[in-house]
C-alpha cells in the first residue's frame, strides 16, 4: 500500500496543482491568519470596556473551534466530492485507471489533494487556538495549551472518517452524492440526543464529544474513555472505507465491499455497537425521554442497524454468484472459482454480527433485554437471532434472483424493507385499531406483527405480548419462498 | 516478432445489447492495425475493452502475457489509450499535465522531463509548454493526448480517431510519427475514418461491422480481397456520344457499368490482354476515347466491396 506524502502521490499532487499549488495555498492561509488577527484586534478594542482579555480569548476560542469543525467536515468533504465528480465528468478517472497507480494510491490522493487547503487552514487555526488558550488559561498551564491540540486531534479523526466515507460514496455514485447532508442531520441529532437509541452510532459521530464537552468545563483529556473509544471506532471505520474506496476505484463494476471486506465491515460495526452498549456509559441528560436510555431499545436499534449493514455482504455474494453463473454460461474458457453462495454469506454475517455482540457483552447481554415470564431469556435471544438470519436469507434470495437479470437492485431492498419489515407491523396496528379501538393500548400484538423481523425483535426484547414463534414461522415461509426463487434464477 | 496483444473471444454487453459478441485479435510488436467501420460497429468498444476500461461478460485480453483486469496495474500500464474525446485537466498547464502523467506511471522525474521535451517537440507543442490546456485548440489537445499516451512508453498503443482534429500538415507529420512508432517495435491499433492515411501507414486492416471483425489481414490482403481478379476501369470520352450504352451491350464479363456524361467506369478482368481487348472493342464500336485507365485497388474500394454502406 502506498503511504506516500502528498507531494509524491500523483492524484494528490495533481489536485494540489489544480487548487493553485503552494502559492495559492500559502496565500489563502496567510490571508486567513491576517484577517482573523485583524478582526480579533478590532473586536477586542471595541469590547475592551466590557470584557477582560481572558474572557475575550475564551469566546474567540469557541468560535474558532466551530469554524475549524466546519472547515474539516463541510469544506473538506465537499472538496473531496468535487474533485471526484470532476474526474468522472472529464473522464480523467479512465486516464487514472490506465496508469500504474494502485487503488490505495488513488484513494490516498483523493483524501489528501483536494483537502490540502483545508489542512493548511487547520494548521493556522491550531496556532490561533493554542495562542488563545494560552491567553484564556492560567499562564504556563500545560492543560490549557494542550486542550485545543487534543480537540484538533479529535476533529482530525472525525475528518478522516468523513473524507474516507466521501471518497467511497463519490466513487460509488460517480461523484454525485455528498455525505455532507448526512453529517448535518447527524449533527442535529447529536444535539437532540436521539442518537443514544443506537449507542454504536453515537460512538462514531461526535455525540460523545458534544455531551462530554457539555458536562465538563475543563475540556477533554486523553483519559476520557468514550472519546478515545469514539476515535478508535472512527479510525477503524475510516480504514475500512479507505480499503473499499481503493477497490471501487479500479472500475465502476467492481464491488467496493466484496468478499472479506464486507464481513470486516459487519464485524467492525458489531464490535462498535457492542462497545457502545456495554462499555461506554450513556450520560443521563436531564429532560431526555427515558426511551433513549433503555437497554431493550438499544438492543432493538442495534439489531436493526446490524441487519441493514449485513445486507451488504449478502448482496455482494448474491451478485458474485449471479455473475459467476452468467460468465460460466457465456464463456467456455472461464475457469473462475465458484464464489460463496449467499446462504453462506448469511451464515457468516449472522455469526459475525451476533457472535461479536454476545462475546463483547458477555453476561451483560442478558441485561440488554426485558425478561418475559412466558419464555426464558435465552429463548428470547434465540428468537432474535432466528429473525436476524431469516431476514437476511429472504433478502439474499430475492437479490440472487434479481441479480441474474439486472444489476440494479436498490429498489428490491427498499421494497423488501417496506413490505417485509414495516407494513406487517403497521397492518397489525391498523387492524387492531379498527376491530378493537378501546383496548388497543392494552392488547398484545398478533403474529402479523411478529412476521416482521422488527416486530419479532421488539416482541423478543421487550415485555410486549406477541406470538413470536408463529411470526417466525411466517418469516421462515418467506425465506423458503425466496430460496426457491433464487434456485429458479436465470443463469 | 513477440506477441503483444491477445484478445480471445471478448464479449461486451451494454444491458441487453451485445456490443461485441466474439471479438478476437492478436497483434505482434511492429504491427499497426487500422480499424475501420461504420458508426456503432464496435471500434471504440473494442479499444476500451482491450484497455480494460469496460467489463467483459466473456473472454480475456492479455498484453505481453499478462491478463488485463481491474487492479492489475502492471498490465494496464503497458497500454496507452487515447480516446476520441481526450480527458484532461483544463486548468493545468501542458507541462504540468504531462508531469502528472509521468508521476502516475512512476516514470522518474528526470526521465519525465526528458520525455516531455521529446514528445512536445515531436508533436509540435513545444511553444505551448506553459499554456493552460483549456487554451489549446482541438487539434492541439488531440496532439497532447497522443503525447500523454506515449509518455510512459507503452508496448501497446490504442488511438481512437487520433487525426480527427489535425490540419493537413499535421496529418502528414502524424503519419510519419505513427510509422516510426511502428518501426520502433510497438504494437498499435488506430481507429480512423481517413482510409487513405490508414492505407499508407498500417500493416494490417480490420473492417468491423455489428461488433464483428468482418475482415482482418494485411493491407494487401484486405485491399485485394473479394476483387476476384477484377479491376475497375475508367474511360473519359472526347465528346458526348448519344446512346453510348449500346456500345457496351454485348460485352461478356463486364459489370458495374456506370455512365455519367463523358465519364464511364466499369469492372472487367484484371489482366493486360483483357484490357487491350476491351479497349479495341470499344474503339471499334466508335467511341471517341480520350482516356482509358485501370484504377489501382485501394482501401476505400475494398471497404465499399464489403457492402457496408455507411462510412463514418
| pLDDT single digits (tens) B64-96 | 999 998 888 889 889 999 988 888 999 999 999
How does pLDDT run across A215-236, given as a tens digit for each residue? 554 555 555 677 778 888 999 9
**Cα–Cα distance, B130 to B132 (Å, whole number):** 7
Cα–Cα separations (whole angstroms), residue B7 to B4, B28, B61: 10, 12, 4
Q: What is the mean pLDDT of residues A408-432?
A: 91
Highest mean pLDDT (candidates A202-216, A349-363, B223-237, B268-282): A349-363
The reported pLDDT for the residue numbered A443 is: 62
Amino acid B147: pLDDT: 93
A92, A102, A251 ranked by CB distance to B73: nearest: A102
Q: Quote the pTM value.
A: 0.85
- Largest Cα span, chain A: 86
**pLDDT bucket at A377, cuts 50 / 70 / 90:** confident
Nearest chain B Cα distance for residue A101, angstroms: 6
Name the one residue in this structure whose C-alpha cell is 418475559: A372
Cell numbers placing A247: 477497490
Q: What is the pLDDT of residue B220?
A: 81
Q: In the block, which residue shows the cell 483544463?
A: B90
Q: Round to whole Å and give the CA distance between B51 and B71.
A: 12
Distance CA A441, CA A461 (A): 18
Measured between CA atoms, how close is B2 to chain A, in angstroms?
Answer: 23
Cβ-defined contact of A99 to B73 (cutoff 8 Å): yes
**A282 — pLDDT class (breaks 50, 70, 90):** low
User: In percent, how much of chain A has pLDDT > 90?
Assistant: 48
Percentage of residues in chain B having pLDDT higher than 70: 97
- Residue A141's pLDDT is 47
SS3 track for B250-272: CCCCCEEEEEECCEEEEEEECCH
Work out whether strand B204-209 and strand B32-36 pair parallel, antiparallel, or are unpaired: parallel
Test mutation, B20, B21, B103, B105, chain A, max A CBs within 10 A: B103
Is A99–B101 a contact, with Cβ atoms under 8 angstroms apart? yes
Mind listing the pLDDT tens digit for each residue in B178-192?
A: 888 899 889 999 998
Query: Which chain B residue shows the shortest CA-CA distance from A98?
Result: B76
In this predicted structure, the answer to whether residue A147 has a pLDDT above a threshold of 90 is no
In this prediction, residue A437 carries a pLDDT of 65
B153: contact with A, CB 8 A cutoff: no
Considering only CB atoms, B8 lies closest to which of A92, A96, A333, namely: A333
What is the value of ipTM here, to two decimals? 0.82
The pLDDT of residue B146 is above 80: yes
- The answer to whether residue A2 scores a pLDDT higher than 50 is no
Alpha carbon of residue A217 to chain centroid: 29
Share of chain B above pLDDT 90, in %: 44
B67, three cell numbers: 491478463
The helix/strand count (H/E) of chain B reads as 10, 14
B positions 50-69 inside 8 Å of A (CB): 51-53, 55, 57-60
Contact B104 A11 (CB under 8 A): yes
B44 contacts: CB under 8 Å, gap ≥ 6: B83, B84, B160, B191
- Asked whether residue B215 carries a pLDDT value surpassing 60, the answer given is yes
Q: CA dihedral defined by A97, A102, A104, A108, rounded to 10 degrees? A: -70
Helix H or strand E encompassing B75: helix B73-76
Q: Which of A22-36, A62-76, A421-435, B266-280 has the highest mean pLDDT?
A: A22-36
| Contact (Cβ atoms closer than 8 angstroms) between residue B226 and residue B306 | yes
Written as nine digits, the cell of A163 is 473524507
DSSP A376: -
Q: Nearest Cβ partner of A10 from B77, B85, B104?
A: B104
Q: Note whether A331 and A281 are within 8 A (CB).
A: no
Side-chain-side CA neighbours of A429 within 13 Å: the count stands at 7
- Selection from A61-65, A87-91, A224-228 with the highest mean pLDDT: A87-91
Q: Return the pLDDT at A224.
A: 65
Residue with cell 426511551: A291
State the DSSP H helix or E strand holding residue B82, giving kind and residue range, or none if neither.
strand B79-82
pLDDT tier for residue A3 given thresholds of 50, 70 and 90: very low
- Tell the residue number behind the cell numbers 441474474, with chain if given: A404
pLDDT digits (tens, 9 = 90+) for A14-56: 999 999 999 999 999 999 999 999 999 999 999 888 888 888 8
pLDDT of residue A145: 57
Rounded Cα distance between A271 and A128, Å, is 38
- What is the average pLDDT across A143-152? 70
- Give the span between the Cα atoms of A352 and A355, in whole angstroms: 5
pLDDT over 80 at B228, yes or no: no
- Is the pLDDT at B311 greater than 60, yes or no? no
The verdict on A334 touching B (C-beta cutoff 8 Å) is yes
pLDDT of residue A1: 41
User: How many interface pairs between A and B have CB atoms less than 8 angstroms apart?
Assistant: 94
Q: Does B210 touch chain A (CB under 8 A)?
A: no
- Give the percent of chain A with pLDDT over 70: 86
| Alpha-helix runs per DSSP H in A137-259 | 142-172, 180-192, 199-204, 207-215, 225-249
pLDDT tens for A284-321 read 555 666 666 788 888 999 999 999 999 999 999 999 99
Question: Is residue A367 predicted with pLDDT exceeding 50?
Answer: yes
Position of cell 455489428? B210
- With CB atoms and an 8 Å threshold, state whether B51 touches A98: yes
Q: Average pLDDT in the B2-14 region?
A: 92
Please tell me the least confidently modeled range out of A97-111, A255-269, B192-206: B192-206
Name the pLDDT band for A441 (thresholds 50, 70, 90): low
pLDDT at B17 over 50: yes
- C-beta of residue A230 within 8 angstroms of C-beta of residue A190: no
Does A346 have pLDDT greater than 50?
yes
Report phi then psi at A245, rounded to 5.
Answer: -65, -40
Residue B3 grid coordinates: 506477441
Q: What is the pLDDT of residue A466?
A: 85
Amino acid at each position: 500500500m502506498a503511504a506516500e506524502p502528498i507531494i509524491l502521490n500523483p492524484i494528490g499532487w495533481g489536485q494540489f496543482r489544480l487548487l493553485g499549488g503552494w502559492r495559492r495555498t500559502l496565500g489563502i492561509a496567510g490571508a486567513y491568519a491576517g484577517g482573523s488577527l485583524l478582526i480579533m484586534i478590532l473586536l477586542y478594542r471595541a469590547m475592551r470596556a466590557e470584557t477582560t482579555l481572558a474572557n475575550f480569548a475564551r469566546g474567540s476560542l469557541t468560535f474558532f473551534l466551530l469554524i475549524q469543525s466546519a472547515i474539516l467536515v463541510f469544506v473538506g468533504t465537499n472538496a473531496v466530492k468535487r474533485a471526484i465528480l470532476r474526474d468522472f465528468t472529464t473522464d480523467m478517472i479512465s486516464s487514472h485507471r490506465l496508469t500504474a497507480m494502485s487503488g490505495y494510491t488513488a484513494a490516498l490522493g483523493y483524501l489528501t489533494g483536494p483537502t490540502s487547503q483545508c489542512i493548511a487552514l487547520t494548521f493556522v487555526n491550531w496556532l490561533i487556538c493554542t495562542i488563545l488558550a494560552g491567553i484564556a488559561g492560567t499562564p504556563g498551564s500545560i492543560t490549557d495549551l494542550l486542550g485545543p491540540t487534543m480537540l484538533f486531534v479529535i476533529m482530525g479523526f472525525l475528518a478522516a472518517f468523513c473524507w474516507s466515507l466521501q471518497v467511497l460514496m463519490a466513487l460509488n455514485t460517480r461523484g454525485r452524492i455528498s455525505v455532507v447532508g448526512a453529517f448535518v442531520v447527524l449533527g442535529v441529532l447529536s444535539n437532540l440526543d436521539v442518537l443514544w437509541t443506537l449507542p454504536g452510532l453515537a460512538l462514531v459521530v461526535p455525540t460523545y464529544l458534544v455531551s462530554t464537552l457539555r458536562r465538563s468545563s475543563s475540556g477533554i483529556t486523553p483519559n476520557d474513555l468514550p472519546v478515545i473509544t469514539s476515535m478508535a471506532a472512527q479510525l477503524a471505520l475510516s480504514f475500512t472505507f479507505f480499503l473499499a474506496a481503493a477497490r471501487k476505484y479500479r472500475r465502476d463494476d467492481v464491488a467496493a465491499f466484496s468478499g472479506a471486506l464486507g464481513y470486516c465491515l459487519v464485524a467492525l460495526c458489531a464490535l462498535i455497537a457492542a462497545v457502545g452498549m456495554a462499555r461506554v456509559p450513556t450520560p443521563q441528560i436531564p429532560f431526555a425521554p427515558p426511551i433513549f436510555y433503555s437497554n431493550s431499545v438499544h438492543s432493538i436499534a442495534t439489531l436493526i442497524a446490524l441487519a441493514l449493514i449485513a445486507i451488504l455482504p449478502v448482496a455482494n455474494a448474491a451478485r458474485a454468484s449471479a455473475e459467476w453463473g452468467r460468465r460460466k454460461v457465456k464463456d467456455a474458457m472461464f475457469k473462475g472459482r465458484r464464489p460463496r453462495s449467499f446462504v453462506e454469506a448469511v451464515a457468516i454475517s449472522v455469526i459475525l454480527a451476533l457472535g461479536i455482540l454476545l462475546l463483547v457483552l458477555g453476561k451483560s447481554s442478558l441485561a440488554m433485554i426485558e425478561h418475559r415470564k412466558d419464555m426464558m431469556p435465552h429463548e428470547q435471544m434465540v428468537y432474535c437471532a432466528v429473525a436476524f438470519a431469516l431476514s437476511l436469507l429472504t433478502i439474499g434470495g430475492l437479490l440472487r434472483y434479481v441479480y441474474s437479470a439486472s444489476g440494479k437492485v436498490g429498489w428490491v431492498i427498499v421494497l423488501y424493507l417496506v413490505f417485509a419489515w414495516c407494513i406487517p407491523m403497521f397492518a397489525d396496528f391498523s387492524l387492531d385499531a379498527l376491530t378493537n379501538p378501546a383496548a388497543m393500548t392494552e392488547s398484545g400484538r398478533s403474529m402479523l406483527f411478529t412476521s416482521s423481523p422488527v416486530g419479532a425483535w421488539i416482541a423478543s426484547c421487550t415485555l410486549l405480548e406477541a406470538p413470536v414463534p408463529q411470526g417466525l414461522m411466517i418469516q421462515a415461509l418467506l425465506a423458503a419462498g425466496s430460496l426457491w426463487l433464487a434456485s429458479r434464477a436465470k443463469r | 516478432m513477440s506477441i503483444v496483444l491477445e484478445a480471445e473471444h471478448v464479449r461486451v454487453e451494454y444491458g441487453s445489447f451485445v456490443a461485441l459478441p466474439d471479438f478476437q485479435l492478436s497483434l505482434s510488436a511492429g504491427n499497426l492495425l487500422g480499424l475501420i467501420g461504420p458508426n456503432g460497429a464496435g471500434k471504440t468498444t473494442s479499444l476500451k475493452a482491450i484497455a480494460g476500461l469496460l467489463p467483459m461478460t466473456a473472454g480475456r485480453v492479455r498484453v505481453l502475457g499478462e491478463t488485463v483486469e481491474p487492479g492489475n496495474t502492471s498490465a494496464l500500464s503497458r497500454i496507452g489509450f487515447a480516446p476520441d474525446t481526450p480527458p484532461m485537466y483544463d486548468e493545468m498547464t501542458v507541462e504540468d499535465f504531462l508531469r502528472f502523467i509521468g508521476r502516475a506511471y512512476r516514470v522518474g522525474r528526470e526521465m519525465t522531463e526528458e520525455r516531455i521535451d521529446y514528445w512536445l517537440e515531436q508533436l509540435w507543442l513545444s511553444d505551448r509548454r506553459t499554456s493552460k490546456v483549456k487554451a489549446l485548440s482541438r487539434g492541439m489537445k488531440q496532439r497532447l493526448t497522443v503525447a500523454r499516451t506515449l509518455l510512459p512508453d507503452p508496448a501497446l498503443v490504442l488511438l481512437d480517431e487520433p487525426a480527427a482534429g489535425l490540419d493537413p500538415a499535421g496529418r502528414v507529420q502524424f503519419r510519419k510519427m505513427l510509422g516510426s512508432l511502428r518501426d520502433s517495435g510497438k504494437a498499435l491499433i488506430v481507429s480512423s475514418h481517413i482510409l487513405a492515411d490508414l492505407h499508407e501507414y498500417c500493416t494490417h486492416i480490420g473492417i468491423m461491422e455489428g461488433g464483428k471483425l468482418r475482415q482482418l489481414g494485411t493491407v494487401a490482403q484486405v485491399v485485394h480481397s473479394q476483387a476476384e481478379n477484377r479491376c475497375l476501369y475508367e474511360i473519359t470520352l472526347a465528346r458526348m456520344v448519344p446512346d453510348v450504352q449500346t456500345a457496351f451491350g454485348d460485352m461478356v464479363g463486364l459489370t458495374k457499368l456506370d455512365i455519367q456524361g463523358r465519364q464511364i467506369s466499369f469492372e472487367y478482368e484484371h489482366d493486360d490482354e483483357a484490357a487491350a481487348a476491351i479497349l479495341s472493342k470499344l474503339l471499334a464500336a466508335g467511341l471517341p476515347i480520350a482516356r482509358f485507365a485501370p484504377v489501382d485497388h485501394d482501401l476505400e474500394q475494398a471497404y465499399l466491396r464489403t457492402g457496408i454502406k455507411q462510412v463514418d
